[in-house]
Structure 1
């Protein structure tokens, strides 16, 4: 799922006008990809990762409460 989200974001950002301008200026491809593409595309990926972490912690809390084993889910809930 992360791969699909990141790929779609990269494709969308690569088609942006400022990437075309950066290429027209003659900037190296590596610089364009890191500076102009990776930064804007990473925001959507980080959002999806944050949502996945909440599901992971919620699932761990359910498993820990079912098996009566203290762990990170219980610690996060008590915090």
Structure 2
């Protein structure tokens, strides 16, 4: 998910708001950690019936993150 957001340009605003100069690999790693932490929290809040619903919840989470990234003032960080 992190790579696809980077590849399609959705992370541009995130990096512009977070990094004062040129984004480095460690900024991407921080975002990846943010996604892992937030997905874990999201998963337990949603209380899925089983792991078989993983793809549905992953897509729902992906949509939430994409909508957050559309805010030009967004900084998604731990």
Q: Does the TM-score normalized on the shorter chain lie above 0.5?
A: no
Give the structure-1-normalised TM-score.
0.37
| Bigger fraction of residues in helix | 1
Give the structure-2-normalised TM-score.
0.38
